[in-house]
Copies of this chain bind each other. A is one copy, B any other.
C-alpha cells in the first residue's frame, strides 16, 4: 500500500528536489503540493523538469490541503514549520527540511535565529552514532542543514575515535542552490559565474551551532567550530574542507582505519581509495557522499574532505532516507547513489 506524501513549499529548490526523488520512489504516491506566493500556478511553470507533475496546480499551504497524507514534507522558510506541524496529527510523519527543530539548545536557537525555540525533533542524519535508532518509528524528523551534513559526516568519525582536537576549522564551498530560489541581486548568474566569495564569516552562519552540536556529541566533549562558507560558481554541491589538530599519537593509518570502520557498512558514504579526492560532480544529483582523509605530519593536523549534493543528501535525499527509516522501509529505497557526471 502506497505511502501518500504531501509537499509544502513545492515551488522552491528543496521542494522540487524532494518531488524529483519521490517520483522515483516505488512506495510513494504524491498527494498535495502547496506553496505560498506561487499558489494557483501549475507546477510545470515553476519546476519544468518535473514532467509527470507539470499539470498539477499548487494549493495554498493550509492544514486542509495537507490533511489526509501519511507523510508531509515541509520546505518552508524557518519559523513556519511549527504552526503547520501542530495541525497535523501525531500519526502523520512530518519531515521538516527547514531549521526549526534541529537545535537542542534553545539559547543557540535564539542567538542565531532571533525567535523563540520551537522544540527539537529526531535528527535526520542516520550515519551519526545512534542516528538510525533515533529515527525508527519516529513521526517527526528534523532534516539537517546541508553544511552540517557535509561537515558532520566528514568529522564525526575522527571525534568519536578520539583523533581530533577540540577545535575544528572548516571552509566549505557551496553551489548557489543552497541559497534558495530567491531573486536577489547577488545570486544572479551574472554575479556568481566566474566568482568565488565568502559570506557569514567569523562565526555568523546559522549552521554553526548545528555542527557544534553534532561534533560535540561524537567527541563526548565540547568542540569549537570555526566555519567559513563560500559561494561557488555551480548550481549544486558542497565541498567541505575540515581540519583539526591531531591528538597525540595519531598516525595516518589510525586515521584511515577509523573512517574505514565508521563507513564500512554505510550505503551512501564512500571513503575513497587512497590518492583519490572528492569532487562534487561525482555526487551530483545523488544521495552519495565522498569522504577522504589525510594526516599532515608537518603541522600535526588531520584533514577530512567531503563532497555532497546540497539538495540531495544535503536536503531532500536525507529527508527521504530518514523517511524510509521512520516508516520501516529499506533505507536506500528510491534514492539514487550514482551521480550525474560529467
Query: Across the interface, which residues of B come within 8 angstroms of A189, CB to CB?
Result: 176, 187-189, 191-193, 233, 235
The answer to the question of A239 belonging to the interface, with a C-beta cut-off of 8 Å to chain B, is yes
Q: Across the interface, do A198 and B297 meet the contact criterion of CB distance under 8 Å? A: no
Q: Across the interface, do A297 and B45 meet the contact criterion of CB distance under 8 Å? A: no
The answer to the question of A4 belonging to the interface, with a C-beta cut-off of 8 Å to chain B, is no
Output the least CB separation between A125 and chain B (Å): 20
Interface string of A219-237 (1 = CB under 8 A from B): 0000011101010111111
The answer to the question of A24 belonging to the interface, with a C-beta cut-off of 8 Å to chain B, is yes
Q: How far is the CA of A280 from the CA of B201 in the complex (A)?
A: 16
Q: Across the interface, do B191 and A230 meet the contact criterion of CB distance under 8 Å? A: no
CB-contact partner of A203 in B192, B196, B297, under 8 A: B297
Q: Across the interface, do A13 and B342 meet the contact criterion of CB distance under 8 Å? A: yes
- Which chain B residue has the least Cβ–Cβ distance from A298? B203
Q: Across the interface, do B299 and A337 meet the contact criterion of CB distance under 8 Å? A: no
Given contacts A24-B338, A176-B188, A176-B190, 5 further A-B contacts (CB under 8 A): A48-B290, A49-B284, A181-B188, A188-B342, A196-B237
Q: Across the interface, do B232 and A196 meet the contact criterion of CB distance under 8 Å? A: yes
The answer to the question of A285 belonging to the interface, with a C-beta cut-off of 8 Å to chain B, is yes
Given A188-B187, A225-B299, also A23-B338 (CB < 8 A): yes
Output the least CB separation between A31 and chain B (Å): 18
The answer to the question of A340 belonging to the interface, with a C-beta cut-off of 8 Å to chain B, is yes
CB-contact partner of A236 in B270, B294, B342, under 8 A: B342
The answer to the question of A296 belonging to the interface, with a C-beta cut-off of 8 Å to chain B, is yes
CB-contact partner of A276 in B48, B173, B188, B241, under 8 A: B48
Query: Across the interface, which residues of B come within 8 angstroms of A235, CB to CB?
Result: 189-190, 193-194, 281, 342
- Which chain B residue has the least Cβ–Cβ distance from A191? B342
The answer to the question of A126 belonging to the interface, with a C-beta cut-off of 8 Å to chain B, is no
Give A285-331 interface residues, CB cut-off 8 Å to B: 285-286, 288, 290, 292, 294-299, 301, 303, 305, 307
Q: Which residues of A contact B (CB under 8 A)?
A: 13, 16, 20, 23-24, 42, 44-45, 47-52, 54, 167, 169, 171, 173, 175-177, 179, 181-185, 187-199, 201-203, 224-226, 228, 230, 232-237, 239, 241, 243, 270, 272-273, 276-286, 288, 290, 292, 294-299, 301, 303, 305, 307, 336-342
What is the total number of copies of this protein in its complex?
A: 4
CB-contact partner of A338 in B20, B199, B286, under 8 A: B20
Q: Across the interface, do A285 and B282 meet the contact criterion of CB distance under 8 Å? A: no
Output the least CB separation between A154 and chain B (Å): 12
Query: Across the interface, which residues of B come within 8 angstroms of A182, CB to CB?
Result: 188
With a 10 A CB-CB cut-off, give which of A51, A194, A270, A284 has the most chain B CB atoms.
A194
Q: Across the interface, do B307 and A241 meet the contact criterion of CB distance under 8 Å? A: no
Q: Across the interface, do A193 and B20 meet the contact criterion of CB distance under 8 Å? A: no
Q: Across the interface, do B190 and A187 meet the contact criterion of CB distance under 8 Å? A: yes
Query: Across the interface, which residues of B come within 8 angstroms of A167, CB to CB?
Result: 299
Q: Across the interface, do B169 and A292 meet the contact criterion of CB distance under 8 Å? A: no
Q: Across the interface, do A307 and B201 meet the contact criterion of CB distance under 8 Å? A: no
CB-contact partner of A341 in B48, B187, B283, under 8 A: B48
Q: Across the interface, do B228 and A241 meet the contact criterion of CB distance under 8 Å? A: yes
Output the least CB separation between A330 and chain B (Å): 15
